[in-house]
Amino acid sequence: MALRFEVLGRFNRARAARLTLPHFTCQTPLFMPVGTQGSTIKGLTTDQLETIGCQIILGNTYHLELRPGSQLIDDLGGLHKFMNWKRALLTDSGGFQMVSLLHLADITEEGVTFQSPVDGKPMLLTPEESINIQNNIGADIIMALDDVVKTTITGPRIEEAMYRTLRWIDRCIAAHKKPDVQNLFGIVQGGLDPVLRDICVRGLVERNLPGYAIGGLAGGEDKDSFWRVVAQCTAGLPEDKPRYVMGVGYPLDIVVCSALGADMYDCVYPTRTARFGSALVPEGVLKLKQNAMATDERPIDPSCPCMVCKNYTRAYLHCLVTKDPMGSQLLSYHNLSFMARLSRDLHMSILEGRFPEFVRGFLRVQFPKGDVPKWVHNAMEVAGIDISECCTPTNCQHDAMEAAGVDISEFCPPTRCP
């Protein structure tokens, strides 16, 4: 295998690890920004991404094959050289486009046929072709083609997709020509069905892959179902392999999933929300388009050491985000800096034995009124982290008191205790 995964510290399920890949040695937990047009993080250079502290960039196989083409990338020395990125890369399989471009796709056992949004021509993506394209691109981590369905879908389609994903992983393994320099990750599917998820986890673990992803989430399912799937899958995946929850980018979700034993995340959220004029801050989201920002001389986040917070006021950024593309570029820089700092803080707090304190501090800032969502409380119970001091009786103790026959309605809002 072309990776080494060493767990350096733990707190119950949570772990801080060193992930050594062909192009870079990473610290986990980690967040990966997504190249929305193949491998480009809109508005940012690779030097800026390195300064921010990005460890792995995610490239989109589907878009890279459309433009400029994987063969050209290979002829020019691979994607690292092509985009001048010296750290690690991960490419998706193209499977996500089955959901995002479903109106253009036809899924069969052979593969998925897309209608190209560029020229309208059909493009057949089989497991073999997906791996061939990713071999040409040359990323450190490549993803198996899976049959992706939204978690909000129910019925036999979920089971069909899970078993097809297991059949396709064998075709991906057989097609993979560069296992000595590229790591093939399998993807756990099965919707919200714990039986199907368990079958898929066991089937993938039997293949002894370099790493594993939890797919099919962050697609509209309720949060209680979301964390339970993550908890189930991380519990069943190997201790000595990286675990990647796909499509997750909200800071709260990353903290919760890390507490449950996940290591890697990706999402367009930090850069997409920047383009809408919103900045990530410890309290949540700061909307710089609001009129109140027009005269605010403070930085986005006084505690943030990034270039944007050191040099620009909220008032200046308010002016830019309403009129100039530079605004979204600066907010993208800040938001990815925020995610990189969150990743470092998670890693160090686990390593230094203060992870529960970090989680409680994070929640106190995000929910100063104590209104921590019930799903977070439930997940933290499974993770073995006591967050009762961060929560009001309404959120954490109401059900327990009710079961014990204790009336606490005088402490609760009417919506909870009419």
Kindly tell me the burial class for residue 252, based on how many C-beta atoms sit within 10 Å of its own C-beta (0-12, 13-18, 19 or more).
middle
**pLDDT at 104 (0 to 100):** 63
Q: How far, in Å, CA of 368 to CA of 390, rounded?
A: 8
Asked, as a colleague might, if the bond just before 356 is cis with ω within 30 of 0, I would say no
Q: Find residue 27's DSSP bridge partners.
A: 18
261-295 as b/e, with b when 16 or more CB fall inside 10 Å? bbbbbbbbbbbbbbbebbbbbbeeebebeeeebee
**pLDDT at 413 (0 to 100):** 41
Q: Which two tokens stand for residue 294?
A: 């027009």
**pLDDT at 224 (0 to 100):** 97
| pLDDT at residue 404 greater than cutoff 60 | no
| pLDDT at residue 414 greater than cutoff 50 | no
Q: Taking a C-beta distance cutoff of 8 angstroms, is the pair 16, 38 a contact?
A: no
Q: Taking a C-beta distance cutoff of 8 angstroms, is the pair 41, 57 a contact?
A: yes
Q: How far, in Å, CA of 195 to CA of 216, rounded?
A: 15
Q: Taking a C-beta distance cutoff of 8 angstroms, is the pair 135, 91 a contact?
A: no
| pLDDT at residue 245 greater than cutoff 90 | yes
Least confident of 102-106, 342-346, 366-370, 413-417: 413-417
Which of 94, 96, 68, 97 has its CA nearest to residue 82? 68
Q: Which two tokens stand for residue 222?
A: 């309720």
Please report, for residues 60, 93, 122, 143, the alpha-carbon distance to residue 116 in angstroms, rounded to integers and kept in the order given: 15, 16, 6, 21
> Which residue in the block uniquely carries the two structure tokens 């921010």?
52
Distance from the first to the final alpha carbon of the chain:
59
Q: How far, in Å, CA of 346 to CA of 155, rounded?
A: 38
Q: Taking a C-beta distance cutoff of 8 angstroms, is the pair 271, 332 a contact?
A: yes
Least confident of 8-12, 96-100, 303-307: 96-100
Please report, for residues 108, 168, 169, 196, the alpha-carbon distance to residue 172 in angstroms, rounded to integers and kept in the order given: 16, 6, 5, 21
Residue list, annotated binding site for substrate: 92-96, 146, 189, 216
Largest CA distance in the chain: 72
Residues whose CB is less than 8 angstroms from the CB of residue 387 and which lie 6 or more positions away in sequence, other chains included: 359, 360, 363, 372, 376, 377, 380, 396
Q: How confident is the model at residue 123 (pLDDT cuts 50, 70, 90)?
A: confident
| pLDDT at residue 105 greater than cutoff 80 | no
Give the other-Cβ count within 10 Å of 174's Cβ. Answer: 10
Q: How confident is the model at residue 1 (pLDDT cuts 50, 70, 90)?
A: confident
| SS3 sequence of the chain | CCCEEEEEEEECCEEEEEEECCCCEEEECEEEEECCECCECCCCCHHHHHHHCCCEEEECHHHHHHCCCHHHHHHCCCHHHHHCCCCEEEECCCCCHHHHCHHHEEECCCCEEEECCCCCCEEEECHHHHHHHHHHHCCCEEECCCCCCCCCCCCHHHHHHHHHHHHHHHHHHHHCCCCCCCEEEEEECCCCCHHHHHHHHHHHHHCCCCEEEECCCCCCCCHHHHHHHHHHHHHHCCCCCCEEECCCCCHHHHHHHHHCCCCEEEECHHHHHHHCCEEEECCEEEECCCHHHHHCCCCCCCCCCCHHHHHCCHHHHHHHHCCCCHHHHHHHHHHHHHHHHHHHHHHHHHHCCCHHHHHHHHHHHHCCCCCCCHHHHHHHHHHCCCCHHHCCHHHHCHHHHHHCCCCCHHHCCCCCCC
Least confident of 39-43, 295-299, 354-358: 39-43
Q: What are phi and psi of 354, to 5 degrees?
A: -125, 30
Least confident of 116-125, 196-205, 320-329, 369-378: 116-125
Over range 69-88, report the average pLDDT.
Answer: 96
Domain architecture of the chain: domains with CATH: 4-268 (3.20.20.105)
| pLDDT at residue 401 greater than cutoff 60 | no
Q: What is the pLDDT of residues 46-67, one digit of tens each?
A: 999 999 999 999 999 988 988 8
| pLDDT at residue 36 greater than cutoff 90 | no
Catalytic site positions = 92, 266
Q: What is the pLDDT of residues 283-297, one digit of tens each?
A: 999 999 999 999 999
**pLDDT at 411 (0 to 100):** 47
Does residue 74 or residue 99 have the better pLDDT?
74
When the pLDDT of each residue in the chain is averaged and rounded to a whole number, the result is 92
